[in-house]
């Protein structure tokens, strides 16, 4: 006999009422799904006197993702086997909008699909767990201890539990979803922090390298010139040697010092880069390196040049400066070609030579190449080095602009 939902009075037994509401409160305090299901089944069995009970939670595909049973031994559970499918009488409960109470389960047409070793069931009380018109699972109880059918009061008690259970299960899912999202965000933040720390370390490393280079330039170049100038001035003051000859030599040394200061200043941050942009700055590097060398060095700008953020222009200038200087000093090339390509989505600097090339183990290492890679990474750029012994070197920097 199928019992439809009715307006029922609460169970009248004070002890049953106390246990029902204490159990309902305990259910709402639980945030672990399986613990919630266990509490639901245990409380439901106690207030109804059922020998056996089970509770399941539905997944996105319509099957059970969690299923808890109570009232059978571990060995019986092993014999029953895997989690049941949401079919037969269990499927009927999931499709129902209210309780299903049967005096004799075996007479119902949907009473199929139970495993061979499942405990015998006659009296039956099943309930969908509904939250905001969405069925999140079900609970069912069988075999009332008195060998009598489940009563209307049993049904009402389980309905109350089912309402609390649906809320608790939904809250539990939301709690875990939020926790998972927070874990993902924390992991992303940790990765970002590690990336920022690595970038900070690379910036400090590059600054320190440049400081060492400047210190060496000052010591080996200007420092020596100024030391010589002091000795010349002392000779003039003390009347040693030919005064005019010493003064002429002193003037030449000071002019050389001024030239060196300008060269170092230009290397730190050329005004042409700020005033005219990377095309003029790279062309200026090429013009300086040509000098009276026999190496043929060319430069071309392709596309329509446009200004870029200051950090990007600085990286282009530094990479061009390093790559061209390396090619002139170390490649033994007769021909060096450089070009700066402007595309709406990226800027590409390419420098090639027909020199001796580098062995595979050296590509990307030494000669400032590691520093160029670091600079490129600071502006989300990508540096590639293509080289084979005897076939020259190609250094390509690509920086996205969108």
Dump strand ranges (E) for 231-325.
Answer: 296-302
Stronger pLDDT, 273 or 259, i.e. the higher one: 273
Mean pLDDT computed over 11-35 = 58
Domain positions in the chain: 10-180, 269-400
Cβ atoms 101, 150 nearer than 8 A:
yes
Tokens describing residue 396: 């390509």
Q: Where are the beta strands (DSSP E) in 33-72?
A: 50-58, 64-70
Q: How confident is the model at residue 49 (pLDDT cuts 50, 70, 90)?
A: confident
Does residue 208 register a pLDDT over 90?
Answer: no
Pairwise CA distance, residues 40 & 29, whole Å:
12
Highest mean pLDDT of the ranges 146-155, 238-247, 328-337? 328-337
Return the structure tokens found at 141: 């109880």
- Over range 135-162, report the average pLDDT: 82
Most confident of 113-127, 137-151, 240-254, 335-349: 335-349
| Confidence band, pLDDT 50/70/90 cuts, at residue 8 | very low
Of residues 83 and 370, which shows the higher confidence score?
A: 370
What integer pLDDT is reported at residue 152 of this predicted model?
Answer: 85
Two structure tokens written together for 366: 């030494």
Q: Higher confidence at residue 192 or residue 355? A: 355
pLDDT of residue 7: 46
- Is the domain defined by 10-180 classed in CATH 3.30.450.40? yes
Determine the Cα–Cα distance for residues 317 and 345; give it in Å rounded to an integer: 19
Most confident of 88-102, 155-169, 263-277, 352-366: 155-169
User: For 81-151, where are the alpha helices, taking DSSP H only?
Assistant: 88-95
Q: How confident is the model at residue 4 (pLDDT cuts 50, 70, 90)?
A: very low
Residue 118 has pLDDT above 50, yes or no: yes
Q: Encode pLDDT of 187-196 as tens digits.
A: 888 887 777 7
Pick the residue with more confidence: 229 or 315?
A: 315
Total-model pTM? 0.45
User: Using alpha carbons only, what angle is made at residue 186 by residues 184 and 177, rounded to the nearest 5 degrees?
Assistant: 40
Distances (CA, A) of 232 to 37, 223, 224, 245, 254: 96, 14, 12, 10, 11
Which range of 180-194, 334-348, 371-385 scores highest in mean pLDDT? It is: 334-348
**HSE (CB half, 13 Å, CA atoms) of 135?**
23
Helix (H, G, I), strand (E, B) or coil at 384: strand
Using CA atoms, how far apart are residues 79 and 117, in angstroms rounded to an integer?
Answer: 6
* Spatial distance between the Cα atoms of 55 and 69, rounded to a whole number of angstroms: 6
Using pLDDT thresholds of 50, 70 and 90, give the confidence band for residue 179. confident
Asked if residue 172 lies in contact with residue 36, where contact means CB atoms within 8 angstroms, the answer is yes
Q: Is residue 230 predicted with pLDDT exceeding 50?
A: yes
**Which residue is it, tokens 């183990």?**
361
Token pair in block for residue 392: 């020259």
E strand or H helix at 10: none
DSSP SS3 for 383: strand
Rounded Cα distance between 71 and 46, Å, is 11
Task: Identify the H or E element spanning 339.
Answer: strand 335-342
- When pLDDT is averaged across residues 258-274 and rounded to a whole number, the result is 70
Give ∠ CA 278-322-396 in degrees, rounded to 5. Answer: 70
Predicted confidence band of residue 202 (pLDDT cuts 50, 70, 90): low
pLDDT tens-digit series, residues 67-114: 777 777 777 766 666 656 656 666 667 666 677 888 887 777 666 656
Comparison of pLDDT for 399 and 166, the residue scoring more:
399
Provide the pLDDT confidence category of residue 279 given band limits of 50, 70 and 90. very high
- DSSP conformation letters of 251-268: HHHHHHHHHHHHHHHHHH
Q: Regarding predicted confidence, which is higher, 43 or 278?
A: 278
Question: Right CATH number for 269-400 from 3.40.50.1820, 3.40.50.150, 3.30.565.10, 3.50.50.60?
Answer: 3.30.565.10
Q: Give the start-end residues of each E strand in 95-201.
A: 100-102, 124-131, 134-144
């Amino acid at each position: 006999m199928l019992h439809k939902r009715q307006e029922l009075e609460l169970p009248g037994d004070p002890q049953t009422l106390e246990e029902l509401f204490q159990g309902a409160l305990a259910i709402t305090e639980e945030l672990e799904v399986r613990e919630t299901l266990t509490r639901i089944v245990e409380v439901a069995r106690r207030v109804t006197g059922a020998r056996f009970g089970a509770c399941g939670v539905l997944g996105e595909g319509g099957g059970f993702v969690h299923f808890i049973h109570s009232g059978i031994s571990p060995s019986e559970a092993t014999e029953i086997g895997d989690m049941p499918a949401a079919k037969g009488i269990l499927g009927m409960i999931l499709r129902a909008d209210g309780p299903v109470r049967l005096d004799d389960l075996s007479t119902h047409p949907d009473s199929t699909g139970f495993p061979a070793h499942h405990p015998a069931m006659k009296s039956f009380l099943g309930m969908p767990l509904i939250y905001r018109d969405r069925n999140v699972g079900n609970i069912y109880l069988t075999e009332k201890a008195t060998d009598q059918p489940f009563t209307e009061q049993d049904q009402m008690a389980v309905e109350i539990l089912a309402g609390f259970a649906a809320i608790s299960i939904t809250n539990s899912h939301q709690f875990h979803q939020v926790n998972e999202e927070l874990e993902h965000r924390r992991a992303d933040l940790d990765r970002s922090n590690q990336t920022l720390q690595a970038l900070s370390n690379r910036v400090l490393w590059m600054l320190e390298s440049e400081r060492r280079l400047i210190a060496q330039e000052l010591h080996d170049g200007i420092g020596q010139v100024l030391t010589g100038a002091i000795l010349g001035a002392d000779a003039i003051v003390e009347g040693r040697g030919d005064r005019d000859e010493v003064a002429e030599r002193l003037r030449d040394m000071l002019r050389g010092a001024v030239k060196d200061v300008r060269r170092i200043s230009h290397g730190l941050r050329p005004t042409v880069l700020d005033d005219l942009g990377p095309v003029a700055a790279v062309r200026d590097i090429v013009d300086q390196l040509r000098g009276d060398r026999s190496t043929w060095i060319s430069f071309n700008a392709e596309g329509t040049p446009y200004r870029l953020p200051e950090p990007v222009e600085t990286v282009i200038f530094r990479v061009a400066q390093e790559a061209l200087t390396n090619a002139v000093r170390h490649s033994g090339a007769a021909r060096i070609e450089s070009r700066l390509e402007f595309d709406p989505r990226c800027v590409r600097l390419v420098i090639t030579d027909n020199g001796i090339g580098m062995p595979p183990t050296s590509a990307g290492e030494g000669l400032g190449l590691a520093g160029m890679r670091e600079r490129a990474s600071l502006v989300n750029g990508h540096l590639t080095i293509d080289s084979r012994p005897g076939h020259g070197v190609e250094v390509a920097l690509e920086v996205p602009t969108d």
